[in-house]
Structure 1
Amino acid sequence: MKVKFYKYQGTGNDFVMIDNRQNIFPKNDTKLIEKLCDRRFGIGADGLILLENDNSTDFKMVYYNSDGNESSMCGNGGRCLVAFAKKMNVINNETTFIATDGLHHATISENGIVSLQMKDVDQVNIHTDYVFLNTGSPHHVTLIDDLEHFDVATNGAKIRYSDLYGKAGSNVNFVKQMDVQDSKQSNHFAVRTYERGVEDETLSCGTGVAAVAIAMNAIGKTIANKIELDVQGGKLEVSFEKNNGVYTNVHLIGPATFVFEGEIEL
């Protein structure tokens, strides 16, 4: 059976998109999904996303990591799926859709910038040398001085597989504060992320930069509620509101770009 696919990327975080509104894709075939995401034997991607029907929203997002396993929320994937849904004429410039972590609202501009509302965050665990929180996926956040030369793959794996997070593991974000003012604050950070399920550094992680923005606010590195984030694949923004320690109206903002389309034999 041949299946049509579409390739999208959001600041270098790339995804295979498949329109599964007719329920034709073998969703439980882990090996197949892993093969499609393989950069040598398949299409190549950090993950695979299915666009499916939903009775109460515009569509449903089903996300798989490149290891073939269905996973938690992917922010850049969600933004790319919004762009894909527009290409498929499922939506116009605004949408509401359902994902594994609940309801999401999003808008897409004419130049392809997608603003995706993420889940509220009511718990930020601050430790001596790291912060842990969940923005739809679990994230470990720690500050690093020499981020440019840091071995993200090795050190990220150590934390991801450590006793801190058990079998489920966590995504791991390494952060450098940029443009520091006299107040030792700024609204600009650089981020590199080790993603579980990919088991390597990715060029960008949407739930990761959302976690970094909130974490940096929580520990007083910034008082801003709109944060600029440099990732390996480009630039993203995260905005939020903070009330009594609860982060609401969290938006992940950045480009979602169509790359190519094709057919592949399953």
Structure 2
Amino acid sequence: MRRMTRVHFTKMHGLGNDFVVLDARETTLPAIDARVARALADRRTGIGCDQLILLEPSDAADFRMRIFNHDGGEVEACGNASRAVALLHGSAASVETGGGVIRVEPTDSGATVDMGEPRFGWDAIPLAYGMDTALMPVGWDGLDQPGAVNVGNPHVIFFVEDTDAVPLDRMGPGIETDPLFPERVNVNVATIVSRTHIRLRVWERGVGLTRACGTGACATAIHAMRRGLVEREVTVTLPGGDLTIAWGEDNRMLMTGPATESYRGSFAWSDFA
């Protein structure tokens, strides 16, 4: 394995949710911790991104994907990053993540990702105590009776008449860090437009308001399907664009949507270590 002090990166995005991707599958990189991830993600003094993505060798899959949020915290899954990584890899592959092994496959305009099976148990979200996750008897300032789904990371979903009318930038931080969610939570507010169309905004834990969240689109669609509000395949419209989410009879979630490479560059590791 070849060592290097200047590190190459690829800047990518999925519907405006942007990533810095470091490929350590064949080149050994120094250890990445929360401090380094925050420094690289900083939009004023670093490269700038919502998430830092690290690709590594894996014994369980074709390769491993680690995900660091803008605040430096490592998380289990990122649907938009999975599509970006599929595009970068260039062919179908199995990918080990903190939330389990997923499968990715490039398409003409992006990628399809098999996101695995959703989990609904209160202890799988996780919540601090037991309750029905399909209709939770809790609320915050007019947002009430949400559902919760773990799709590799935890999500809480509120159905509202107008998703744009919810002050998510104000309410998101309090819900994300509520003691009900011991690992914090991603906050989704959604409007059911029709049986095949959902509009969605997401407060992403460790990131904040985001133009797109692939796992949020999956969680919201699955919760709507579970409640019988939509069909088993829907279009989810986020501020950054559309994703297609399907929930198969085999209980697996398929997410399809665009991904884009923005540019490539390099940096001196010593500038951020």
TM-score, with normalisation over the residues of structure 2?
Answer: 0.85
Superposition deviation, residue 250 in structure 1: 0.7
Q: CA deviation at 1:149?
A: 3.2
SS state at 1:162 partner: coil
- Which one of the candidate residues 11, 18, 23 is aligned to 1:19? 23
Task: Specify which of 153, 176, 194 is matched with residue 191 of structure 2.
Answer: 176
The answer to whether the 8 Å contact 1:54/1:60 transfers is yes
Question: Residue 137 in 1 paired to residue 137 in 2?
Answer: no
Provide the rounded CA distance (Å) in 2 between the counterparts of 1:40 and 1:149: 30
CA-based RMSD of the aligned residues comes to 1.6
What one-letter code is carried by the residue in structure 2 that aligns with 1:40?
R
What is the total number of aligned residue pairs between the two structures? 246
C-alpha deviation, 1:104, in angstroms: 1.2
Once the two structures are superposed, residues 28-47 of structure 1 have per-residue CA deviations (whole angstroms, 9 ceiling, x without a partner) of 43212111111111111110
Partner Cα separation in structure 2 for residue 145 and residue 9 of structure 1: 29
| Residue 59 of structure 1, CA deviation | 1.2
Query: Match of 2:141?
Result: none
- Give the aligned partner of residue 36 of structure 2: 32
Q: Any stretches of 5+ residues in structure 1 without a counterpart?
A: 87-91, 181-185
Q: Does 1:220 align with 2:223?
A: no
**Contact 1:73 / 1:99 at 8 angstroms: preserved in 2?**
yes
1:170 positional shift: 0.5
Q: Which residue identity is paired with 2:204?
A: E
AA aligned to 1:123 is: F
Give 1:228-243 correspondences, 5 Å limit.
228-242=235-249
Q: What is the match of residue 101 of structure 1?
A: 99
Say whether the 8 Å CA contact 1:83–1:112 is kept in structure 2: no
Residues 123 and 149 from structure 1, CA distance in 2 versus in 1: closer, same or farther, beyond 3 angstroms?
Answer: closer
Task: Name 1:183's counterpart in structure 2.
Answer: none
TM-score, normalised to structure 1, is 0.88
Asked whether 1:192 is paired with 2:201, we answer yes
1:151-192 Cα distance to aligned partner (Å, 9 max, x none)? 1121111211113213x21000000111x4xxxxx1100110
- 5+ unaligned residues in a row in structure 2: which ranges? 122-132, 138-144
- SS of residue paired to 1:217: helix
Query: Aligned residue for 2:79?
Result: 75
Q: What is the CA distance between 1:213 and its match in structure 2?
A: 0.5
Structure 2 CA distance for aligned equivalents of residues 145 and 264 of structure 1: 46
The question of 1:255 aligning with 2:258 is answered yes
Asked if structure 2 preserves the Cα contact closer than 8 Å seen for 1:101 and 1:119, the reply is no
Identical-pair percentage: 30
**2:236 aligns to what SS in structure 1?**
strand
Work out the CA distance in 2 between the residues paired with 1:122 and 1:158: 24
Aligned partners of 1:239 and 1:251 also within 8 Å: yes
Aligned residues of 2:34 and 2:68 also touching (Cα < 8 A): no
SS of the residue corresponding to residue 46 of structure 2 reads coil
Q: Deviations over 1:3-59 (max 9, x none)?
A: 111011011111000111245333343212111111111111110111111234221
